[in-house]
Structure 1
Amino acid sequence: MPPALKALLAQLMGTAGAFALASSGALGGLWPLVASQAGLAAASALVLRSERWWLAIHLGFLPLAVLAHGLSRALGLHPGWYLAGFVLLLLVYWTSFRTQVPLYLSNRATAAAVGRLLPAAPACVLDIGAGTGSLLRPLARMRTDCRFTGIELAPAPWLLGRLLAVRFPNIEWRRGDLFAPSWSDYDVVYAFLSPVPMAAVWAKACAEMKPGSLLVSNGFVVPGAEPERIVEVADRRGTRLHVYRMGTHGGRRR
């Protein structure tokens, strides 16, 4: 079951349970009702085997919604502000609820580490789920002899990346699904995604990337595959780059 559907079902189960308790007379008052709904929704999420971080969302969703409603009434806020906030989040995160790939931005230390992995000769580099282009712009400055392509689906990061990439003639900026284009023309493919799509990323890399090319995953391992090496980045995140060389001893199955 998709995580978003599990979340909706957990909220509905929590609401139904809280309503049943209130109807029986076991609960009275707004906040006991809100607390029971939040607790039952979180318990339902456990039963549905949702990821642990969903529990905090379920515990906070209705209480925060009630608090926001009270605050808006006290301050006289127009409901349109909440709609604007929702639209902004939608434009930033877009289909993250389905793909389970949030917006991650690569820092300059990571870009420098990736730059050291690039071939000495001119190369073609693809950043899948490129966000705002925070990795590609430093690389484009370092290696003016290389061609860089970023692909991003969410409208707001794509638009910002498009504007920031205008002054870099060696960056091609695309909007679309990361699995849509062929990866066969690239010497390096960089991914900073989440654990969820890594099996599909590996399958596409094995099917399309040429022997000797590199798949570089920031933070997330390919299930069942051994990286050629792991690069430790000296940043606050403790970033680890998992480097898989296609068609050679690197990237072998465990």
Structure 2
Amino acid sequence: METSPSDQQTDQADRPRPFLHGRTVRVLLAALVGIAAGILLLKTGQVPGDQAVPPGWLATAAAAVIAALCAILMGLRGLWPVGAALAPPAAALALLAAVPAWVFPLLILVLAGLFWNVRSERVPLYLTNGTAQKALADVIDDQPGARDGHIIDLGCGFGQTTFTLARRFSDAEVVGVETAPLVFAIAWLRGKLIGLDNVRIVYRNLWAEDLHRYDAVYCFLSSEPMPRLIAKANAEMRPGSILISNTFTDSGDTSDEVVLVGDSRETQLRIWRF
């Protein structure tokens, strides 16, 4: 039996990903390797003590270099190795400043709450700016049935785009789904405080959401899950509905239309019509 390209893309997306796939995970590992190496150098006396620079700072500098090299060896480029290199000096400064011990596990919990879903869903925390939100609302406003129908924001982050759409389309039901625990909690609490009757923030994996009931679907994900999402949309979305992706598309760029937002990011809204 032959498989279609969309089936192959879906199968590839369902395959287990290697542990070191997520950039955030690799940065954390590189930083930990660098810090451990710095401590080892200091404890074993491998750092000379008769230099003008205190041995502790020489070990810290060595740890930063090692962390950056580890990040590069793990396939990271751009600012990611820089982020890994900054971890050892940050840890040394925290020790010098006598930061209370409880701060570190709290920081880890906060980071986990923000980026818990990055490795499993390959979706960083991207935020839609105000100019793009307005352009998005204009696209939905031109879509028959969406203005007073059902709209969903897949991976709603802190909920700003979801709330903007709920205010613009007061006759529509607007749903935001999110799986990063802390991000979801903030969005959910904001929704309660804002008090809009036509909006819901739901803790749910976007792959578990049935897209059939929605007239307009919006996402700002990454290039990696887009082929799977396009395949899901083709299978579930009904005729007359619309999928809008901020910037990212599938490998073949099968979108029907592209809207240039004209903001500083040079944002493009890619549109699929069903």
TM interval, shorter chain, is 0.7 to 0.9
Query: Which digits, 9 at most, give the CA deviation of each residue in 1:70-107, with x for residues without a partner?
Result: 12x2xxx4222333333333333333354342323323
Matching residue of 1:68: 94
- The answer for the alignment partner of 1:188 in structure 2 is 216
2:136 match = 114
Distance 1:36 1:99, change over 3 A: farther
2:184 pairs with 1:158: yes
What is the Cα-based RMSD across aligned positions, in Å?
A: 2.8
Q: Partner letter of residue 165 of structure 1? A: G
1:250 matched to which residue of 2? none
1:161-192 superposed Cα distances (whole Å, 9 cap, x missing partner): 22333422221221121111111211211111
**Is 2:144 the counterpart of 1:144?**
no
The answer to whether 1:131 aligns with 2:149 is no
Question: For residues 23 and 222 of structure 1, what CA distance do their matches in structure 2 show?
Answer: 51
Secondary structure (helix, strand or coil) at the match of 1:165 reads: helix
Q: In 2, are the aligned partners of 1:149 and 1:173 still within 8 Å (CA)? A: yes
The letter of the residue matching 1:62 is P
Aligned pair in 2 of structure 1 residues 165, 20: CA closer, same or farther (>3 Å)? closer
> Aligned pair in 2 of structure 1 residues 117, 176: CA closer, same or farther (>3 Å)?
same
Cα distance, 1:8 vs structure 2:
5.6
TM score, norm. by length of structure 1? 0.81
Shift of 1:17: 6.4
What is the rounded CA distance, in whole Å, between the counterparts of 1:67 and 1:21 in structure 2?
16
1:42 partner amino acid: A
Which has the higher relative contact order, 1 or 2, with Cα contacts under 8 A spaced 6 or more apart? 2
Residue 249 of structure 2, aligned match among 201, 221, 245 = 221
1:134 to partner: Cα distance = 0.8
| CA contact 2:116–2:180 (8 Å) conserved in 1 | yes
Deviation at 1:123, TM superposition (A): 2.5
Determine what percentage of the aligned residue pairs are the same residue: 31
SS of equivalent to 2:174: strand
Equivalent residue runs for 1:226-245 within 5 Å:
226-245=254-273
Alpha-carbon separation, structure 2, partners of 1:221 and 1:168? 31
Give the match for residue 251 of structure 1.
none
CA–CA distance in structure 2, aligned partners of residues 154 and 180 of structure 1: 15
- What letter corresponds to residue 59 of structure 1 in structure 2? A
Using the TM superposition, give the Cα deviation of residue 43 of structure 1 relative to its aligned residue in structure 2, in angstroms: 1.8
One-letter amino acid of the counterpart of residue 225, structure 2: P
Query: Contact 2:41 / 2:59 at 8 angstroms: preserved in 1?
Result: no
Q: Is the 8 A contact 1:107 1:134 kept in 2?
A: no
Which of 79, 82, 101 matches 2:123?
Answer: 101
TM-score by length of 2: 0.75
Structure 1 counterpart of 2:139, which letter?
A: L
The code of the aligned residue for 2:144 comes to A
Structure 2: 5+ residue stretches without partners = 1-17, 50-54
The more displaced of 14-23 and 179-188 is: 14-23
1:59 to 79, 85, 103: 85
Count residues in correspondence: 242
Counterpart contact for 1:218–1:239, Cα < 8 Å: yes
User: What CA distance in whole angstroms lies between the structure 2 residues aligned with 1:45 and 1:85?
Assistant: 21
**Cα distance between partner residues in 1 of 2:215 and 2:79:** 36
